[in-house]
Amino acid sequence: MVLIGWLYVVLMLAVAQNSLWATFSILFFLGFLPTLFIARMTRRRLRKRQELAQEQANQGKTLE
Residue-wise pLDDT tens digits, 44-59 = 999 999 999 998 888 8
Angle formed by the axes of helices 33-63 and 2-15, to 10°?
160
Question: Is residue 15 within 8 Å of 24, Cβ to Cβ?
Answer: no
DSSP secondary structure letter of residue 18? S
- 10 — pLDDT class (breaks 50, 70, 90): very high
Query: Residue 25 pLDDT > 90, yes or no?
Result: yes
Q: Is 12 exposed, middle or buried (0-12, 13-18, 19+ CB in 10 A)?
A: exposed
Average pLDDT, the chain: 92
Q: What distances in angstroms separate CA 45 from CA 50, 57, 61, one per listed residue? A: 9, 18, 25
Share of the chain above pLDDT 70, in %: 95
